[in-house]
Structure 1
């Protein structure tokens, strides 16, 4: 199987290249011609491909001429649409980094282009593949927890513009922390709740954190009401300090009629203190969620296992984000479009 990674703008691009290069039966090539917006010091293009040890195509045209069976789009959010539409034109399955797009209009166009071409569109939400989430989903699906009444979620992390500057530039990212970190939990709930859909959103944001570095929102709290009456709150802040030993994490508490379920998607780690560096450290073990997601995208889910989010699901989470921005601006609840 031949897989092309298009653009290295996203921080996950290097990880995907490494994982794909180690998968038996997978040939991988990278292409990163659009480096005009990269900040000084960001390792991109052929230099990153050489560092990872994969083949490189100087243009997207050459990457598609190579004949990939699938592509992974890792560009800036605002540049997802043209690459996904190009994949649809070539009849190639595509996994697009989250969020699906920087705007709902672009997301709708991407879904329609892939539907019209009969091409699979998937969205990179690796937290679906967490064993902790699988246990929560099983407890809800079996009825063990009873009807879900409320959910409290937090997706906190470091400000990502320190690795890639464009994350804090709205014309490329679509926003700040609200755009970056709401969608992971919104996707889990989209999968967990099944037919129940988000109907109303209320949100508050600010940039008290890191106000000296960026103008976008760096903290937010989003409340979502679902069609079955459940209410979810999502803390989507870039709240980890520069010196923190971890990039971030994702935690979820699900309150049901008969049980309360708690999960931490990234706590398969040994925690300690590094005397040489004078700060805390973590040694991860357990499942690699990105690898599980890539395998599900390329080969399909295991029997009874989780599948990657599709374009329609990615569009639903994007509409939650759009409603949250409208609510934060107006100060009032906003219906989900």
Structure 2
């Protein structure tokens, strides 16, 4: 079977906990050829732990050794490195979010089109069994036309106290751009990625600014904390659908985690986690839960497999960069709306061209 030579750029937690172990499970199809990190000690540690043969001195040097890269750097560097890789003729799987801004995201898309190389973004929630079941149900018309989408991505006192998650300059934001983006992307994909037209949002970081807060995921400096830990948003789409979003690292909720995507259509509705269809028939109301769902328990595996297949021309990529751009547009608009106190309009591609 054809082997794809892959390089890892950024040897931190997400590379070592998700991407590298997953690719090693697919070792008949890929080989991890090299790793690069600005922290050479981190690169060396990852290479030693996973028997990666080469440690490179720059990402440009790495491009000459591989067919594809997985970018696991802080968000600030996603666009720069992805564009350089694509221009060097290398396929790219970039961790979410796509980039800090719509402009950066659009430049990545243009580089992909010009090079003819695959650009995919690591929105792995699309590859969950429940998500795939929900996509099938929506496409089959089981809920009719989607009208209202409700999204919750909430954690109870779980600000990531490691890495650069609370560094606005490097990450661009907090709970929304890091965590809420996953379920936002999933919900957009499920309803067919209609074009967003107007966004209203509010961001908070009051809780994390209070000294001595309980936090389950390590410690952080409340004095320098300058990213969002709680966000609400309301999005309108050109087809009339609306979406209500709430995401938080630090919610005061009873549950440890709440992850919900609920879609109400004109013929029925569905819940994604756990998957259920809700509809009326024969004068009765039904809630239909699946007794069994096919697919992998770990969505990282089908995500990596789809990227490999897309690079080798065997499959269409499931996460298209134009769809990931929509997520960036909405996140950007939520932050802008919160700062201005006003709703933000999003122009369609046709409007921007004209």
TM class by smaller structure: 0.7 to 0.9
Corresponding residue number in structure 2 for 1:315? 325
Distance across 2 between alignment mates of 1:101 and 1:10: 19
User: After superposition, where does 1:194-209 map in structure 2 within 5 Å?
Assistant: 194=192, 196-209=194-207
Partner of 2:165: helix, strand, or coil? helix
Q: Which residue of 1 aligns with 2:186?
A: 188
Which residue of 67, 79, 82 corresponds with 1:81? 79
Contact 1:146 1:256 in 2 (8 A): yes
Determine if contact 1:5/1:30 at 8 Å carries over to the other structure: yes
- 1:125-178 Cα offsets, whole Å, 9 max, x none, are 1111111112222222122112211111112246454231x1111111011112
Aligned partners of 2:201 and 2:335 also within 8 Å: yes
Is the contact made by 1:96 and 1:122 (CA closer than 8 Å) also made in structure 2?
Answer: yes
1:94 equivalent in alignment to 2:92: yes
Cα distance in 2 for residues equivalent to 1:119 and 1:229: 34
SS in 1 for 2:272: strand
1:229 aligns with 2:233: no
Between the aligned partners of 1:160 and 1:54, the Cα distance in structure 2 is: 31
Question: For 1:136, what is the secondary structure of its paired residue?
Answer: helix
Report the count of equivalent residues: 304
Please give the TM-score of this superposition, normalised by the length of structure 1. Answer: 0.82
List gaps (5 residues or longer) in structure 2. Answer: 212-221, 276-294, 348-354
Q: Quick check: 1:287 aligned with 2:282?
A: no
User: How far 1:218 sits from its partner (Å)?
Assistant: 0.4
Match of 2:46 in 1: 48
CA contact (8 A) 2:16 2:46 kept: no
- In structure 2, C-alpha distance between the alignment counterparts of 1:162 and 1:204, rounded to whole Å: 23
1:215 maps to 2:231: no
Q: Which residue of 1 aligns with 2:114?
A: 116
Aligned pair in 2 of structure 1 residues 92, 249: CA closer, same or farther (>3 Å)? farther
Greater mean alpha carbon deviation, residues 248-257 or residues 228-237: 248-257
Q: Is the alpha carbon distance of 1:142 and 1:33 closer, same or farther for their aligned partners in structure 2, counting shifts above 3 Å?
A: closer
Over alpha carbons, which structure has the higher Rg?
2
Query: Structure 1: any 5+ residue segments left out of the alignment?
Result: 37-42, 267-284
Find the aligned partners of 1:229 and 1:319 in 2 and give their Cα distance: 18
Pick the aligned partner of 1:18 from 18, 21, 32.
Answer: 21
Residue of structure 2 equivalent to 1:273: none
- For the 8 Å contact 2:174–2:228, the answer to whether it is kept is yes
CA separation of 1:141 and 1:105: change in aligned 2, threshold 3 A: same
Gap change, CA 1:33 and 1:181, over 3 Å in 2: closer
1:173 to 159, 162, 171: 171
Structure 2 counterparts to residues 233-248 of structure 1, below 5 A: 233-239=244-250, 248=257
1:116-195 alignment runs, 5 A limit: 116-157=114-155, 159=158, 161-164=160-163, 166-194=164-192
176-185 or 129-138, which deviates more? 176-185
Of 5, 8, 15, the residue aligned with 2:8 is: 5
With over 3 angstroms needed to count, the CA separation of the structure-2 counterparts of 1:289 and 1:56, relative to structure 1, is same
Q: Secondary structure at the match of 2:73?
A: coil
**TM-score normalised by L of structure 2:** 0.78
Return the offset for 1:249. Answer: 5.9
2:33 counterpart SS class:
strand
Distance 1:85 1:99 in 2: 15
Check conservation: 1:129, 1:306, Cα contact below 8 A: no
Give the conservation status (yes or no) of the 8 Å contact 2:147–2:265: yes
Is the 2:233–2:334 Cα contact (8 Å) retained in structure 1? yes
Deviations 1:25-71 (A, max 9, x none): 321034233139xxxxxx832113322333342322442232x1211
2:307 to 290, 297, 312: 297
